[in-house]
Every structure is written in structure tokens, then in C-alpha cells.
Amino acid sequence: MNRSATVLLTLLAFAALLLTVAAWASRRTHNAADLALANRRLGVWLLALSCTANTVNGWMLMTLAGAAFAWGWSAAWIWPAFVSGAALSLFFIAPRLRNVTVAQGNSTLFQLLSGDAGDRLQPWVARSAILIFLFCVLLQTSAMLRFAGGLLVDEFGFNAISMALTSVSLITVGVFAGGLRACAVGDAVQVIAIGIFAALLLIGGTVSIGGWEQYRIAFDALGPVATDWFGARHGVVALAFAGGVFCIGLGTTGQPQLATRFMAARDELALRRACWLTLAMIAVLVGLVLGCGWVASVLYAGLNRPELAMFTIAERLLPPLLAAFIVASLIAAILANVGSQLLALASSFGIDLRRVNAPLSLAWMRAAMVLSAVLVVLSTLWAPVTVFEHAMFGYAAIGASFGPLLLVRLCGKRVRPGATVAAIWSGFILSLLFHLLPDSPGDFLERVMPFVAALGIALTGGERRRNPDRADRSQETVHDRVPI
């Protein structure tokens, strides 16, 4: 058996697993609430694994390994960034979000964010959020599929178009049949596979170097840029770099697919336990992939594509067939996260675009899922070659657009419709503007300023009317205008 056959069999095994999970989940999916939220019945372990995968997905973990390869010790700031950002989401946002959405009957994050806008303005708020989310999701999924497809084409000779169509079709079938439950199981497989293989690659790479002492000596030989905690930066530039990297974690606060997991928790106890497990798994996973990146920088200092650090360790240290199996498994783990993105996009189309009080419809949700899959395929096929360079922008832009407003809303503060729209669009537009400008140290401007600006708008745009139950002028009554 050659390497290509091993990869093909591994991918077929993952496809069979996906279809099996879809069949299992379909027997528990009877209505739109089952499809979108698993009827709020996710247990501790499945919830924890799914939350982990939607905080640091497979593609992002490969990117973090590449950052460790390229930056040296200064990439260590990534670890507290994701751990602190996850802690904010898990222990502040998650319990409050679940309680509020259960009380109000919300099924999506955008329903909560637009709920105070009133019947007249709520559709405009929801459409603004959906438009931004659509753009960012298509950017991220295109990068994931291009990255995975590129590896299969370059290393194993597969056809890029057929792989993209086949992958998205299989994922769509799984999500179409099983909804959030199928996505959650796929997330669990993704986290377990990456965790196991990252640990094996880190151990194998460390042994190949000759132990910790030899590793330290070899790493010191890479130069001051690699061994300095600030990448040989000094003064304000060093602080800006550390602050910019640390604020990557702010992006976790506004991710709709992660918010959906919080809403789907079985009860408060399950959510609390899952939050602790999620934080531990995120800490371990991020630490493992950073370690793999540092090991690869010692072993293969001349690597042209840092994001392939983990794949390079597997291919150069392990027997060919075992390496092919691990590479195929990592590719499948990256593709698995497309299902969560697809479901979040379909939920936005199928729920948030309809009338405020319209009942959930399983048919609408599934039709929106098919439409979302078509958009993902078209964006992947037509995306420019540079899409990979801009994918992290999508993650940061989603966080800056929705995270500040969500934090303010969960603090119990009502936000006026105009301020709601302004906070959403300011976070996105500033993220885009700073992304297009030359990079600042640690991308400080792109990761910090949009979030701060949107947060300031949300905080200063609170409800100031005498009647606290009134969202906008469309909901006024005669008693609101005439003193009695």
C-alpha cells in the first residue's frame, strides 16, 4: 500500500464515521430546535469537546504551530491569550447567555443581540449581523478547504475541485441529517485526533533532538529573535506586540457557533462542568501545538511554510504509511470544523432572516443549509490564492463585531437600536481598515482598537428613556407620550 492509498482509506474511514454519526443523530432530530440546538440537551463531555473545537479549531491550531515556528519564544504569548479569552467566554458569557436565551426563547446569538431593537428595526440589526458573519465565515471556510485541499493535491495528487465538492457534500449531509448533535460529535473527533497526534509528534520530535538539554542548545542557536520573549523588540513596540498577541483571545467572545454550544447545554451543572473541562483542554491543545512548532523550528529551520510544521514532523520522522495516516487524520480534523460553520450560517439564514415571532421551521433550516453549502463551495472555488493570509481576519472581525455588544447586553444594559448597529459595523469596518493597512507590532491595531471602539459605542449607547420596557419608538403607546 502506498501513501496515497493510505490517505484515501483514512479519509474514507472518516467519511464513513461522519455518515454513521449522521444516521445516529438523525434519529434524534425531529424539529428545528433539535437541528439548531440539539433541543438544549448536550451533555458534559460532548459539550466540552464541542466548545473546545469551536474556540480553537483544527485549522487555527495548525496556524498556531506555524506562529511558534516563525516567532520563537515570543509565540508563548498566544497561550495566555487563548486561555484568558476562553475563561472570559466560559465563566462570564456562557452561564449568563444560557439563562437569558432560555428565558427569552432565543435560538441564535443574533436573536439576542437584536432583541431590543423593536419590531421595526430588528430586521435591520439582524441583517447587518448576518452580512458580516456571512463574509467572515466564507473567508474562513475557504481558507480551511483551500489549505486541506492544497495538501492533498501537492502531497498526494488528489483533484482540488473534486475534493472540495466531496468534502462539503459529505459534511452537508451529516449536518442536514443530524444538526448540532452531528456537529458536536465531529468536533469531539477533531479535538481527540489533534490532541493525540500533537502529543505524539511533540514527543517524537523531542526524542529526535536528543532531549531537553540538546533542544535548549539548538534553540539558542537560532538567534536572539527566536529566544527573546518579545522577538527582539523593545520598549513600546514590545508592549504593543505582547498586547496585540494577547488580545487574540478577545475574538472568542463573539463567535456565534460557540455561543450556540452554550445555549445547547443540558442544564447549569452540565455547563459549569463542561466549562472547566473546556478550559483544561484548550490549555493543553494550545500548549501541544506551540511545542510542535518550536520543535519543528529546531529540526527544520529552513521550512518555507511555517503552517505545515506539524505535517513536516510527521512526514520526516515517521514511517511513510504512519505519516500518511496522521497527515490524513489532521486534514480530516480541519475539514470537520466546516460543519459547525455551516450550521451557524444556516441558523442565521433560517432563523434570523425571518420575522421576529415566526416559529422555527425545520424545512427552512435545511433549505438554508443547502444554500450555505453552495455559497461555501463557490467561495472556495473562486477565492484568490491569498485567502489563507486573510482568514485570521475573519475570526478577529467576528469577535470585534459581536463580542463587545454581547458583553454589554449580558451585563443587563439595554442598547439602543442605533448604537447596536453602530457597534456591530464599527467593529467590522475598523477590523477591515486596520487589516488592510501595514501590520502593526502583534497586529495591535487590528485586534484591539476595533474591539475597544465597538465596546465604547455599546456602553455609551444604553437605553435612557423613562420607560425601561420600551425598545424604540415603534413600540410606544399613548401613555408613553402623554403624562398621566
Per-residue model confidence (pLDDT) at position 8: 87
HSE at residue 449, side-chain half, CA atoms within 13 A, is: 14
Element (H, E) at 123: helix 118-156
Spell out the residues 6+ positions from residue 332 whose beta carbon is closer than 8 angstroms to its own.
Answer: 10, 11, 14, 193
Q: Cell numbers 478577545 label which residue? A: 250
Please give the Cα distance from 307 to 331 (Å, whole number).
13
Contact 58, 339 (CB under 8 A): no
pLDDT: which is higher, 385 or 171? 171
Q: Is the dihedral of CA 88, 74, 148, 384 positive or negative?
A: positive
The torsion angle over the Cα atoms of residues 439, 442, 443 and 447, rounded to 10 degrees, is 180
Q: In 10 A of CB 38, how many CB atoms?
A: 29
Cβ 53 vs Cβ 337: under 8 Å: yes
Tell me the backbone φ, ψ of residue 413, rounded to 5 degrees: -95, 130
Q: Between 147 and 275, whose confidence is greater?
A: 275
Quote the pLDDT of residue 356: 66
> CA 183: distance to chain centroid?
13
Contact assessment for residue 464 and residue 430, using Cβ atoms and an 8 Å cutoff: no
What is the structure's pLDDT at 150? 82
Q: Which residue has the higher pLDDT, 321 or 440?
A: 321
Share of the chain above pLDDT 70, in %: 95
Q: What does the pLDDT read at residue 67?
A: 92
Separation of alpha carbons 473 and 469, rounded Å: 12
Instruction: Band the pLDDT of 95: cuts 50, 70, 90.
Output: very high
Asked if pLDDT for residue 371 goes beyond 90, the answer is: yes
State mean pLDDT over 222-244: 89
Residue 93, pLDDT score: 96
Count of helix runs (H) and strand runs (E) in the chain: 22, 0
Q: Comparing 82-86, 130-134, 335-339, 471-475, which segment has the lowest mean pLDDT?
A: 471-475
- The grid coordinates of residue 19 equal 455518515
What is the rounded distance in angstroms from the CA atom of residue 298 to the CA atom of residue 72? 10
Which domains are seen in the chain, by residue range?
Answer: 3-464 (1.20.1730.10)
Q: How far is CA 293 from its chain centroid? A: 21
The full length of the chain comes to: 484
Give residue 479's pLDDT.
36
How far is the C-alpha of 239 from the C-alpha of 444, rounded, in Å? 10
The Cα–Cα gap between 50 and 258 comes to: 8
Query: Does residue 444 register a pLDDT over 80?
Result: yes
pLDDT of residue 477: 39
Buried b (16+ CB within 10 A) or exposed e, 143-163: bbbbbbbbbbeebbebebeeb
Query: Residues 379, 141: contact at Cβ < 8 Å?
Result: yes
Range with lowest mean pLDDT among 50-59, 96-105, 122-131, 466-475: 466-475
- DSSP letters for 166-193: HHHHHHHHHHHHHHHHHHHHHHHHHHHH
For residues 56, 60, 61, 67, the Cα torsion angle rounded to the nearest 10 degrees is -130
The reported pLDDT for the residue numbered 302 is 79
Which stretches of 362-390 are DSSP H helices? 362-382
**Rounded to an integer, what distance in angstroms lies between the CA atom of residue 76 and that of residue 24?**
41
User: Cα Rg for the chain, rounded, in angstroms?
Assistant: 23
Residue 155 pLDDT: 72
pLDDT at 230 over 50: yes
Whether the Cβ atoms of residue 50 and residue 280 lie closer than 8 Å to each other:
no
Average pLDDT over residues 427-433: 95
Within 27-117, residue ranges assigned H as helices are 32-37, 44-55, 58-71, 78-88, 94-104, 109-113
Higher pLDDT, 18 or 463: 18
Nearest by Cα to 222 from 117, 274, 293:
293
Of 466, 354, 403, the C-alpha closest to 111 is 354
- CA 339 – CA 355 distance, rounded (Å): 26
First to last CA, the chain: 86
Q: Render pLDDT for 236-277 as a digit per residue (tens, 0 to 9).
A: 999 999 999 999 999 999 999 999 999 999 999 999 999 999
State the pLDDT at residue 1. 66
Judge contact between 59 and 270, C-beta under 8 A: no
For residue 210, how many other CB atoms are within 10 A of its CB? 11
Residue 449 has pLDDT above 90, yes or no: yes
Which comes out higher in pLDDT, residue 41 or 479?
A: 41
Confidence bin at 476 (pLDDT 50/70/90): very low
pTM here is: 0.91
Residue 403 pLDDT greater than 90, yes or no: yes
